[in-house]
Amino acid sequence: MKILSKFITVILFLILVQKIGVAQSLDDQSKVLQKCFDQTELQPYFPLDNAGNPDQLYVMQYAVSFPVGLNVSKAGKPVLFKYRDEIMQNKITSYFIFRSFDITGNVAKASFSYFYSFDYTTNQFKMVMVNIELNKINLDWSVINIKIEGDIK
């Protein structure tokens, strides 16, 4: 009976450790993504609504798919994660596509494109490509390198 009790305790401990690891991972992913969206250099590309206020931001769930439960927003609106079909069917004209997104220890690297001014009639669009690297010190992520190229304003 003592052995079974110890076994169950160990299993419960391992499950708890796994859940904590996932929560930290979601938290770090959210913080890194937020840093990507908050870069000053990207702000001129973001869509505006009819009143001139920042409009909804979208991330296409391709080639990197992000998990449910990320906490990222822009201008008080949650960033929406959509599949390619949803982007195209709804004729969303501005969206992110992440080519890579990696967090290893205290280093994060992301490579993504931001498509904007997409014209569904002509299939013409503008795009900026971003490579960003961040370091984590304590609980905060700081950008240490960013490169932006493409249709730069």
Residue boundaries of the structural domains of the chain: 2-150
* Contact (CB, 8 A) for 14 and 34: no
Residue 7: its H or E element: helix 2-37
Q: Which one-letter DSSP state was computed for residue 67?
A: P
List, for residues 37-86, the tens digit of each pLDDT value.
999 999 999 999 999 999 999 999 999 999 999 999 999 999 999 999 99
* pLDDT for position 18: 37
Cα–Cα dist 32/30, whole Å = 6
Q: Is the full-model pTM beyond 0.95? A: no
Query: Which amino acid is present at 41?
Result: E
Residue 139 has pLDDT above 60, yes or no: yes
* pLDDT for position 66: 97
Cα–Cα dist 33/3, whole Å = 45
* Contact (CB, 8 A) for 74 and 94: no
List, for residues 77-92, the tens digit of each pLDDT value.
999 999 999 999 999 9
